[in-house]
Amino acid sequence: MQIHFSAAPVAAARLVALVCDADTLPPSLEPVLAQGASAARFAGKPGQLFEGFVSRGGAVVRLALAGAGKADSDDRVANLEKAGAALTAKYLTSGETVLTLDLTASTLSAGEVAAVLMGARLRGWRQDGYRTTLKDDQKISLATIAVIGAPAGTEEAWAIEAAVAEGVEFTRELVTDPANVLYPESFVARCAARLAGTGVEITVLDEPAMRALGMGALLGVSQGSVRAPRLLAMVWNGGGDAVRPTAFVGKGVTFDTGGISLKQPAGMEDMKWDMGGAGAVAGAMLALARRGAKAHVVGVCGLVENMPDGNAQRPGDVVTSMSGQTVEVINTDAEGRLVLCDALTWVQKEYAPAAIVDLATLTGAIIATFADQYAGIFCNDDTFSGQLSAAGAAVGERLWRLPMGPAYDKLIDSAIADMKNMGSRYAGSITAAQFLARYIDKGTPWAHLDIAGMVWADKPGAVWGKGATGYGVRLLDRYVRDVLEG
Q: Annotated active-site positions, please?
A: 263, 337
Query: CA triplet 111, 116, 122: central angle to 5 degrees?
Result: 120
Q: Are 219 and 229 in contact (CB under 8 A)?
A: yes
Q: How far apart are CA 343 and CA 339, in angstroms?
A: 7
Terminal alpha carbon distance of the chain: 30
10 residue type, one letter:
V
DSSP 240-297: -TTSPPEEEEEEEEEEE--TTSPPPSTTGGGGGGTTHHHHHHHHHHHHHHHTT-SSEE
Q: How far apart are CA 227 and CA 184, in angstroms?
A: 7
Q: Which of 288, 248, 194 is nearest to 478 (CA)?
A: 288
If phi > 0 it is left, if psi is from -120 to 50 it is alpha, else beta; for residue 95 that is left
Q: How far apart are CA 174 and CA 278, in angstroms?
A: 9
Q: Which helix (H) or strand (E) holds 87?
A: helix 76-91
Q: How far apart are CA 324 and CA 225, in angstroms?
A: 24
Report CA Rg, the chain: 24
